[in-house]
Chain A
Amino acid sequence: MRVGVLAVQGDFEKHIHSLKSLSNPPETIEVRTPEDLAKVERLIIPGGESTTVGLLLQRYGLADAIQERAAAGMPIWGTCMGMIMLSKKVEGRDQFTLGLLDITVRRNAFGAQVHSFEAPVSMTNLSEPVEGVFIRAPIVTEYGDLTEVLARYDGKVVAVRQGTILGTSFHPELTDDTRLHEWFTTF
């Protein structure tokens, strides 16, 4: 299997490292153009800055290509900025998103960098909690009927799934725990 990691900007190398650490590692491809995207069967959108990535996705035709592949059923997972990019709406801002998850997100929901934190997060799809690394993290403030909540932290929605599209507020790629990467390559 070929798993693509969107390499426009952000911590894409960390995701590639996590994928390579799996017991049965898939082939990984850095995705920067629609041609790169055509080669992969799954896509991860990493952490980074959503305004930067949104601008560049639109400028080079990658946004349309991702939306087409998603409509055809390709699994996509967004972490932090990636989840913002997948959302329908960003609270209080008129910024570009892919609109593939029926959710509204709040950016920097916990405040500036001094409020970034780590905490265990229980997920409905895993038996043991994951180590949640929250860095200027977003939360989900509204979600549609088709959206399944996979995890909450302090009552706030921090992981969701809608069909083959997955979003998490936190960064499993910054930890040694690869269970979510394992899960993403199998569902």
Chain B
Amino acid sequence: MGATVRTLGTEVRSRSLVASKGILYTMSLKTWREKVGLAEMLKGGVIMDVVNPEQARIAEDAGAVAVMALERVPADIRRDGGVSRMSDPEMILGIKETVSIPVMAKARIGHFVEAEILEALEVDFVDESEVLTPADHANHIDKHAFTVPFVCGARNLGEALRRCAEGAAMIRTKGEAGTGDVVEAVRHMRTIMAEIRLVHNAREDELYVLAKEHQAPLELIREVHALGKLPVPNFSAGGIATPADAALMMKLGAETVFVGSGIFKSGDPAKRAKAIVESVLFYQDAKKLAEISKNLGEPMVGINCDSLLPSEQLATRGW
């Protein structure tokens, strides 16, 4: 171990410490292993959107591994329209005081000052999210510049690796948030997994053109080629509403699922939250899933993704 200077947000670490751990270690002078390490701890779980301390407590009691603190769940953001921004710090702090599990919060794409505020609040993860209105139509946040880890959405391998290059410590498929329709989450997860398989099985001399085609850094394409998976944990989000949806995403390759509107827009949130947590544990066991899926009350009503206008699609935000 080399010398480490530690003050909040300004950690400096010698490059020799992080060399030979892959390109992301050498690109980031920050605490890369600690950032990805927290994402590792969240594997095999459910991360739930909550809008107040009461919901946060229900989520924790149901067995959520983390909560996403936000003022409106995506279904309400969709309904209300207008500009959607970072949540009120007071509300985020209220949720932080209520639960012992990690608390995440959303910043707008490219809005690095919102991210700085969330870091100052000491949230455990920042979601640079397409669910909020983007603040920059070209640049995402330089996530290497932060001590707090980031999660970002992606629809395909190239987008996932561009976010990793910027310093994301966790990727989630975007799906189509606030719809309760899992079809887009499935599309994005299948796309990413298929593209990973293609890169993994390619010849070494084909990686250059694959980097060009995916518009991703060559070094990260090489990592995917070597690992057969993304360089960071790969979670799923956007439209998951039932235990069967959650298990489907796990079977397709998700390592944890985010459930946004699906829980607290349903008839019996506590029961549904618990059932979705159990479905992620037993996603390979259809008999247990049948048991888990019984008598959960009304699911969220939902919007069919095919009926959305292009301007209503949140997943197309992000570059």
Chain A residues with CB under 8 Å of chain B are 7-14, 32, 47-49, 51-52, 55-56, 59, 80-81, 93, 107-108, 111-120, 131, 133, 135-136, 171, 174-175
Contacts and interface: CB of A to CB of B under 8 A. Distances in A.
14 contacts: A8-B44, A10-B40, A10-B43, A47-B37, A49-B45, A49-B65, A51-B100, A52-B101, A55-B277, A111-B122, A116-B37, A117-B6, A117-B31, A135-B38
Nearest to A135: B37
B71 interface: no
B147 A114 contact: yes
Given A52-B63, A113-B125, A14 B40 contact: yes
A12 B147 CA distance: 25
Contact of B31 (A10, A51, A107, A118): A118
B43 A11 contact: yes
Interface of B: 1, 4, 6, 8-9, 31, 33-34, 37-38, 40-45, 60-66, 96, 100-102, 119, 122-125, 147-149, 277-278, 281-282
A30 to B, nearest CB: 10
B64 A112 contact: no
Given A51-B60, A107-B100, A112-B122, A174 B40 contact: yes
B1 A133 contact: no
A59 B1 CA distance: 42
Contact of B122 (A80, A114, A131): A114
Contacts of B34: 113, 116-118, 133, 135
B1 A49 contact: no
B1 A119 contact: yes
A131 B41 CA distance: 18
B48 to A, nearest CB: 11
A118 B1 contact: yes
A114 B150 CA distance: 12
Is chain B's interface secondary structure helix, strand, loop, or mixed overall? loop
Contacts of B9: 114
Contacts of B124: 112-113, 136
Given A52-B64, A52-B101, A56-B278, 16 more contacts: A10-B41, A32-B282, A48-B44, A52-B45, A55-B63, A55-B277, A56-B63, A107-B100, A111-B122, A113-B38, A114-B147, A117-B31, A118-B34, A119-B1, A135-B41, A136-B41
B281 A47 contact: no
Nearest to B147: A114
A118 B33 contact: yes
A120 B1 contact: yes
Contacts of B63: 51-52, 55-56
Contacts of B41: 10-11, 47-49, 80-81, 135-136
B286 to A, nearest CB: 15
A52 B281 CA distance: 11
Contacts of A115: 8, 122
Choose among A11, A59, A133 the residue with the greatest number of B CB atoms under 10 Å from its CB. Answer: A11
Contacts of A9: 43-45, 65, 281
9 closest A-B pairs by beta carbon, nearest first, are A113-B124, A11-B40, A112-B122, A9-B44, A116-B34, A52-B63, A49-B65, A55-B63, A135-B37
